[in-house]
């Protein structure tokens, strides 16, 4: 089975030093690397809602490059710093960008994330659009 790399233009530098692709097509699915909510210039917003919106925007960009959209997400796992503090804001953003039927979702509180200042990292699997 082939594996096709997915790298949207504005994410071309992301993860390059770690040899990580933003996404990869394999069979009928697109597998996405965990995305934080950093801005295209790499700056990490201080506002949680901006971070959460930014993370979903990156996921959407990868899926668009693969010919799909956020509507194609079938499963996601979100890793949170201070999950209970930010849950309501994250959930509101999630419901704004994802539509019913919502994907399967696991939310996990973690002690830390690789990216300093990040409050969330979201990984997802989507069907090919």
pLDDT digits (tens, 9 = 90+) for 43-68: 999 999 999 999 999 999 999 999 99
Q: Per-residue pLDDT averaged across 85-109, rounded? A: 97
Dihedral sign from CA coordinates of 4, 57, 92, 33: positive
Contact 74, 46 (CB under 8 A): no
Q: CATH classification of 3-127 is 3.30.1330.40, yes or no?
A: yes
Cβ neighbourhood burial of 50 (10 Å; 0-12, 13-18, 19+): middle
> Looking at per-residue confidence, does 22 or 88 come out higher?
88
Distances in Å between the alpha carbon of 2 and those of 25, 27, 127? Answer: 8, 7, 15
pTM (predicted TM-score):
0.93
Instruction: Give the percent of the chain with pLDDT over 90.
Output: 80
**Domain ranges (residues) in the chain:** 3-127
């Amino acid at each position: 089975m082939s594996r096709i790399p997915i790298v949207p233009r504005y994410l071309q530098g992301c993860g390059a030093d770690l040899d990580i692709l933003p996404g990869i097509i394999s069979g009928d699915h697109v597998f996405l690397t965990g995305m934080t909510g950093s801005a295209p210039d790499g700056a990490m917003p201080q506002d949680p809602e901006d971070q959460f919106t930014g993370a979903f925007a990156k996921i959407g960009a990868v899926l668009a490059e693969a010919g799909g959209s956020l509507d194609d997400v079938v499963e996601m796992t979100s890793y949170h710093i201070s999950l209970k503090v930010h849950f309501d804001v994250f959930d509101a953003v999630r419901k704004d960008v994802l539509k019913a039927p919502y994907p399967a979702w696991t939310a996990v509180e973690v002690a830390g994330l690789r990216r300093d200042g990040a409050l969330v990292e979201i990984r997802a699997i989507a069907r090919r659009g």
